[in-house]
Structure formats: C-alpha cells, structure tokens
Structure 1
Amino acid sequence: MPREVTSFSNETVKRIRALRDKKARKSQGLFLAEGLRIIAEARDCGFLPEIVVFARGQPLHPLAASIVADAEAKGADVIETTPAILSKMSGKDNPQAILGAFRQPDTSLASINRDASPLWIVAQSLRDPGNIGTILRTSDAVAAGGLILIDDHADPYSVEAVRASMGAIFTQAVATTRWEEFIAWLRSGKGQLVGTSLKTDTDYLDAEYEQPCFLLIGNESQGLPPAYEDECDLLVKMPMLGKADSLNAAIAAAVMSFHIRSAWRNAP
C-alpha cells in the first residue's frame, strides 16, 4: 500500500526535491522524471522508478495505477501526498500528476554496444540541457544507438534534459567521456567519424556515409575545436543560404541524422 506523506519536512520530500540539483543526483544515483507519458515510456523500456509519487484527491489514471502497482511489486517506495507537496517536490506550480525517481544507468563508454545501431550521435561540450534532451529525442526518431557526450557538458539527467527528451532518455544509450578516451575507443573498432564544420567544401548532401557512422556535433557557440576536426574521417558543411551563419546544435543533429538515414536508404 502507498504510504501517505503530509509534511513538507518529510525526509523523502527533501530527498526528491534535492534531485533537481546535479550534486544530489550524483550522490544518490537517481534522477527525476515527471508525467505519465515519460514514466509509461520508461516502463515500456524496462525501467521502473525506485520512488514514485502521486497526488491524492483524484482518481489515478488507469495507466498510472498500473505503473504504481508494478513499481510497488518491485519494491519501490510508493508515496501518496498532497498536490502542494507534489508541487514542492517537482519545483513547478502546476506539477504533473505523477513523478518518479529512477536509478541512473552506467554512462561509461564500456556500456556502449557500438553494434546496436549503424548511427550514433556524439556531442562536444553541449551546455544547454534542452539541446541534449532534444538530441536524444532525435536519436530515438532515427533509431540511432544513443548519444555520447564529450568533455564538459550539461547533465543529461537534469529535469530539463529529461523533459525535453520526451522519454528518449529511457530508449537511448547515454555515455559521458573525455575526447582522448572517446577517440581511443572509437579507433579500437569500426566507425566513421563525421564532423559538421564551416571549414570544408564538402556539402553534406554530396558526402558518402559509412556504417557505423558517428556524427560529431560541436558546442552551441564555438563549434568543433580544430584538433577535433582534424581527427574526423569526414567533414561536411550545411550551407547557410540566409543571414544565419549556423544552426542550433540540436537542429543540426536532426538535419544530419535524417539525411544520413536517407542516404543509406537511397544508396544503390
């Protein structure tokens, strides 16, 4: 049976509230996902929350009720609380009806199965969690294997990134590493490293993409460092026909990912 929490000073309330902070997520090994759609996506992918919270006072949606029952059967801490306390936990004035705290998976390169997909997205020094979540959503849409985050970056398990991923945080592998480690790992097996750059004459529409392809997207404001471009097997350019000199990193990843898939589908 769910346990009832009615106090703002309850330790679990404080613990969940703290998960909005990266340091707390790291120390607890947990992250927050809010809303029935994302939590249902998680269950479909085999993930159940370790803590699940819902508001009392209104009937649970049948899907939410089944998720709560499954989580409870797996030993989750199931909490029924007031809308005000749920708002406190989520940090939103109008919180979703259900939220869950999930165990963070292994994000080492060793956890990546490079044979799981012919396409992977690699992003260098992304600072915007919304971009990370959106790229994860794109990665899911093109059936890529997942996202490899290089160097310093926003937390892919922040509330903002998880929300922007629309559930793809549970369908996509995520790895975090430094550039030197990534290059050593990449060159230990098959894989074409494709970078986007303005310093090439190769149009992205004319290039040939091999499998597996590792699509490298640069930092939102600075793009790829020259040394990183030098390591690429192929550099391509998306011509800017208007006044803008570049695309948003998440948009660039989407355009490139769908084109690479299209190029393979239309290949002789």
Structure 2
Amino acid sequence: MEIKLISSENNSIIKHIKSLQLKKQRVRHLQFTVEGVRIVEECLKHNGDIEYVIFSEELHQVQGGSDLLNKVSSKGHTIYQLPSQLFSKLATTESPQGIMAVVNMKNSSLEDLKFEDVDNLFFVILDRIQDPGNMGTIIRTAESAKVDAVIITKGSVDPYNSKTLRATMGAIFHLPIIQCDNDVWIEYLKQKNVELIAADLDTDKTYIDIDYNKNIGIVIGNEANGINSNILSSVDERVIIPILGKIESLNASVAAGILIYKAAEEKHLRKV
C-alpha cells in the first residue's frame, strides 16, 4: 500500500479540501467530500468517482477502518496520511473517524440522464428545500423506492454539503442528482410525457385518488412556502395528504416519503 504523507496545513491538497466546504468551490470544481467509514465505504462500493482519500491514525481504532483503507488501496486510489491534529481541522463531524474522500460529481445535467425503461419513469423534484436533513432523507427515500432521478431547483440547500450527505446514508452515489438554475427541467419532463404531481394544501384531491402507474414526477415544495407558483401552474395533479390530527402540516421529508412510496406501491410493489 503506497501512502503519501502530508504534514503541513499549507499543502495544496489541504487547502483544496478546505475550499470544498464552500458551495461555490464545490460547484467550481464539481467535487465534494465525504467523511466517515460508512459513507466512504458506500462510495467505494457503488463506484463513486473518488479523486483521493485522506486518513489519520484514528481510522485504525474504528471498526472496519483498516479493512476500508485496504479496499481503497486495492482500487488504486491515491491515499494521503495526515497527523490527527491536521485531520481534525478538516473534519466536519464532532467525533472524526479519521477518513475522508474527495469525490467527483456525476450526473450534473439533464442531458446526462439515460434510462432503460422510458414507459414508467419516476422523478422526484425538490423545490427550494432548505433543511439539509430533509434533503438528505428525501434522497435516501427516493433511492430506496427506485426513483430514476432527483431534480433540485434553484434556492434549495446544496445536496453535497456535509449534513445533507450524512442524511443520505450513501444514497447520493446510487441515483442521479440534477441541480437546475432555471425551470428548463419542466419542458424536459413534458417532452418525456412525465406528469407532474404536486403536494399541495389547496386541493380536495387526496394522494390516494390518482394513478401513479405512468411517467410521473412528484414535486415537494419549500418547508415554509410550498411550491413556487411558476412550477405549480405547470403541474398536472395537485394532491393533499389528509391531516387527521390537530397539526397543520407534515414535515417535508415525511410528506415526500408518503407520496414516493404510494407511487412505488403502484409502480413496483404490486408487481412483485
């Protein structure tokens, strides 16, 4: 195993990793970092495009840490070892496990999308979702329900920030994540005969009243303000999840989970 040593905070690798804590630098370089044994292992397992890996001695004290380092080496990835103190300065978790990977982004545009089945497409569109936990949880749920891609509108939290990545539990490596600065995605989906289904409080039609067994895109809006009016005017169906208790609304990730799995029930589960 070839390991390169870095001891200086002024090293260009260290400076680059620090810069990736900022969204504008992640966008500029089309790279992000993942930290911790589990998510690095998921990245490796699902052929994430790893640029290089850094680690500290603490990794050998973590269950599965040494084995993971061997797996990284066997894949031919460049490995750098850092002193514990230097690694801690780069870590985004309270109790660092001593491993981090710099990863190249994939599927960054609509044009990159390729589908084997064009008759039963399944998209999730997240409009200005702000909470990293909600964003990551919805991506995780989307992957578990065999969604084809997640489309994220301008004004949403960055899906590649550290909190969101942890909430995805590795799902970020399994399906395309498309960030759009405008509403061009609407026309893209319309051209593929995808019907947009919006979670909306201003309707009497419930989520169990419609057919999901076709090309669909489920739209989930901002936690406080709902779906942007421009997008809402383009949807084919508006549905509500009835509130049976005394609260006013559901958490965005919970609402998304209900709709995503209702669609999965008709698209996949009933056919098993």
One fold, TM greater than 0.5?
A: yes
The answer (yes or no) to whether the contact 1:136–1:146 under 8 Å persists in 2 is: no
Letter in 1 for 2:156: H
CA deviation vs aligned residue, 1:76-99 (integer Å, no higher than 9, x gap): 431111221111111344212211
**Within the alignment, does 1:65 sit opposite 2:66 as a pair?**
no
State how 1:192-231 maps to structure 2 within 5 Å.
192-231=195-234
Mapping 1:242-257, distance limit 5 Å: 242-257=245-260
1:258 Cα deviation after fit: 0.9
Secondary structure of the corresponding residue to residue 50 of structure 1: strand
Distance in 2 separating the partners of 1:127 and 1:57: 33
**Counterpart position of 1:126:** 129
In the alignment, which residue of structure 1 is the partner of 2:15? 14
Describe the SS at the equivalent of 1:33.
Answer: strand
Q: Structure 2: how far apart are the matches of 1:227 and 1:140?
A: 27
Which consecutive residues of structure 2, in runs of 5 or more, have no partner in the other structure?
none
CA contact (8 A) 1:133 1:156 kept: yes
SS class of match (1:49) = strand
- Pick one of 188, 191, 214 that aligns with 2:191: 188
Residue ranges of structure 1 left out of the alignment (5+ in a row): none
3-state DSSP of counterpart to 1:149: strand
- 1:247 partner SS: coil
Cα deviations across residues 28-70 of structure 1 (Å, max 9, x unaligned)? 2210001121111112211242120111266473431233213
Offset at 1:12? 1.6
Distance 2:169 2:90 in 1: 20
Partner of 1:151: 154
Q: Which AA in structure 2 matches 1:238?
A: I
- Cα 1:227–1:17, aligned 2, differ >3 Å: closer, same or farther? closer
Deviations 1:174-199 (A, max 9, x none): 11114530111111112121111111
For residue 198 of structure 2, what is the amino acid of its counterpart?
G
Aligned to 1:94: 95
Match of 2:50 in 1: 49
User: Following superposition of structure 1 onto structure 2, how do residues 27-42 of structure 1 map, counting pairs within 5 Å?
Assistant: 27-42=28-43
Secondary structure of 2:10 counterpart: coil
Alpha-carbon deviations, 1:2-33, whole Å to 9, x = none? 11122233222222122111122123221000
Contact 1:108 1:175 in 2 (8 A): yes
Q: Does the CA contact (< 8 Å) of 1:112 and 1:175 recur in 2?
A: no
**What corresponds to 2:81 in structure 1?**
80
Runs ≥4 residues deviating over 4 A:
114-117
Q: TM-score, normalised by structure 1?
A: 0.90
Whether the 8 Å contact between 2:127 and 2:228 is mirrored in structure 1 is no
Alignment map for 1:95-114 (pairs within 5 Å): 95-113=96-114
Output the CA distance in 2 between the equivalents of 1:106 and 1:243.
Answer: 42
User: Which deviates further from its counterpart, 191-200 or 117-126?
Assistant: 117-126
Q: Structure 1: how far apart are the matches of 2:59 and 2:47? A: 27
Code of the residue aligned with 1:23 in structure 2: it is K
| Per-residue CA distance 1:109-155 (angstroms, 9 max, x = gap) | 11123555632111111122222211110011111112101232111
The amino acid that maps onto 2:223 is E
RMSD: 2.1
Q: Provide the aligned length of Structure 1 versus Structure 2.
A: 264
CA change 1:70–1:107 in 2 (3 A) is same
Quick check: 2:49–2:105 contact (8 Å CA) kept in 1?
no
1:193/1:153 CA distance change after superposition, 3 Å: same
Letter in 1 for 2:72: V
